[in-house]
Structure 1
Amino acid sequence: MSIADIGEFGLISRVVARLENGPKVLLGPGDDGAVVAAPDGRVVASTDVLVEGRHFRRDWCSAADIGHRAAAANLADIAAMGAEPTALLVAFCAPPDLDADWAEELAAGLSAEAALVGASVVGGDMSSSPTLTIAVTALGDLGGRPPVRRGGAQPGEILAIAGRTGHAAAGYTILSRGFRTPKALVEAYRRPQVPYGAGPVAAAHGATAMIDVSDGLLQDLGHIADASLVAIDVHSAAFEVPSQMRDAASALGLDPLQWLLAGGEDHALAATFPAGEPLPAGWAEIGRVYDGTGITVDRKPWSGPVGWDHFR
C-alpha cells in the first residue's frame, strides 16, 4: 500500500507504533508537543536535513539504513557538544505513491539508532512532496557540564580523534562506481559507527574544543581553527589505512589518504586537549595546535580536497 492509500493519519499511526519512548520522554507522540526531561536545565539542539538524490539513494540504502544515517548525523552533533542525546523530532516529506512499508522501516531505523544512546523519536510532522526529504532535530542534555564549543583550542594543545574517518567516503565512492564490495566499506556508508559516548567523556576530561566530523576531517578542523584563531596541523602517520581500504583505493586509482582526511559521514569526533595530560579512553592523538591560521598536514599545505560543501 502507498502512503496515498492509507492517508497521512493512517501513516502516522503506523509509524508511531514503531517508536519506543525511553526513560527521558515524559510525554511522547500524540499531542501538539512532546515533553522531554532536561535535568541540566539547558537543552542542546541541532538540526540536519537529508534530501533524496543529494544525501541518499534508495537503490544504495534500505529505508532502515537511511533512518540510521539520518539519526546519526544529528546525534553526533549533540555528542560533539559534550552532551547526551535525549530526543529526536522528525519531519518527513514524501511523494504520495511511496510505499507505506518503506516509511515504517525508516521510522524503525531512526528509532533503533536513537536507542543506542538512550534517546527516542518523540514527534515531528509529515507532508506530501515530490522530493523525499527527511529533516531531523536532535535534543540533548549537558549533565551539568559546560558545552564544548569550537572556539576554545589553544596553541600547544593536542589534537585527537575518536572514531574512524574515510570508511563512509570509501563506501560512497565504491557505490558511485557501480560496485557493492568490499562490504565493510559499503556498510560503513550505509550505517555510520558513531562514538557517541566519546563526546561527554571528552567534555569531562577537559576538552577545549570539539566537532563532529561530518563533511571531512580537514574541512571540519578548519571550523575549529577559525573559531579558535589558531593553526592546526594533522599528522598523516597517525592514520592507519585498513587493508580493504588500501586495496579498494588501488583498484580505483585513488589515494586512500584523501578518504581519511577529506571524507565525511563517518561522524568521528575531533577535539583538542591540554598537553601533558593523558587522553581519555577512546581518543587518539592525530596532531597539534599552533599559533597562526589554517590547516596543514605534516606541517605543509594540503593540495587535495578538504571535504564537502553543498554549494560548491
Structure 2
Amino acid sequence: MVFQSTLPISINEMPKEIRELNADTPLFGMTLGMRVMQNKVDSIFERLLNFKMSKSENLSYNKNLDVEIIEKEIITQCDFGCLIPPPNVVILTPTGSPNDDNKIFCITQMYKEEFSLNDNKYLDICADEAIFRRLIKSHARWKKIRPILGQWHTSKNMLNAIVDYRSTRRILELVWVATGIAIHIYAKIKNIGIEEIPTGPTDQNICIKAWYFYYQYFTIWKSHLIGICIGNYNLQRNSLTAFAPLFPVTGKNNYTTSVVHFLSILKKYLNLERKFQYCASINLARKGHYPAFDEALKTYGIGYIKQNIIGNIIDQENLNLQI
C-alpha cells in the first residue's frame, strides 16, 4: 500500500543534506523537547489539582480528574501536524513473502520500477519491526532505501516495556493518573519540586521513587501516542528518543536494534525529517485521531482485505484477484 501526499514545500535530495554520524552522535536520552513536554504534563497536573491550604494547614485539592480531562488538556498544549490534504492511497499487486530477505528486496525494486525512481530518489518504506529489520538488510544492497519503523507497533512495545501488556491500556492510564495525583500531593506536602523526588539516598523513599519513574516513563509513552494521534513528528521523535534506553533493559533486543537504526536514519537524513514535519502520521481520520503509517496499513489494507475475502482461497491467483 502506498500513501501519496503533496507537500507544501519543495525538497531537494542532495548529498549535502546527509549528516555523517559517528560514535559521539547523540541518539538516546531525555531531549530538551521531552523535558519541556514532561514539565507541561507536570504543570497540567498541578493546575488541575488546584491545591489549597487552609488556615489549619489542611491540604485540599480537586478530585474530579480522569484520563480524558488530563489528555484533553495535554493536547491543547501541543502543535498539530498532518496539515496537508488526505493522501492518495494506492494498493499495488501483492507479491512475495515478508519472511524472506530476497523477496523483501525484490518488493523494493518493484516500488522503484512502479514509481520510476532514478538513482537520485529515495524510497521511504514504513513497516513493523520484523520487516523493518529485513529492510535494513535491503538498504545495504540499495542505499536509496530509507526504512521507517512503524510507530503504532512501536507504541505498543513501549507500553509492554513498562508493564505486562496483558493489562489493558485503559487500566494503565488510570494508574498513571492516580500516580500523578499521588506524587504531586506528596511533593506539595513535603514542599519540594516533583523533580526532586528521585534525588537523595538510593535506600530511602524507594516506593515513591518507583512510582515516580512509572509516572515519568508512562508520560513519555503517552506523549508518543498523542504525537501519533495529532501528527506531531517532534513529539514522536523526542518521546522515542527518551524511551529508547528502556528497550535493552527489558530484554527487547530486536526492538533495541531496530530503534537504533531508525533513530540513526532520522539523524542522518535531514530531508526525511522535513517530510515528517508534514506527514508524521496519515491524514485519514478526523483531527486528533490520525493513524500511524503501519496502523493505517493494518486498518485500511490488511484489515479491509481480511474482511472482504470470501470463499476458500485455493490458489495464489484467486487470492490476488480478490485483493
TM-score, normalised by the number of residues in structure 2 = 0.22
Structure with more contact order per residue of length (Cα contacts < 8 Å, sep ≥ 6): 2
Q: Which has the larger radius of gyration?
A: 2
TM-score, normalised by the number of residues in structure 1 = 0.23
Q: Which has the higher helix share?
A: 2
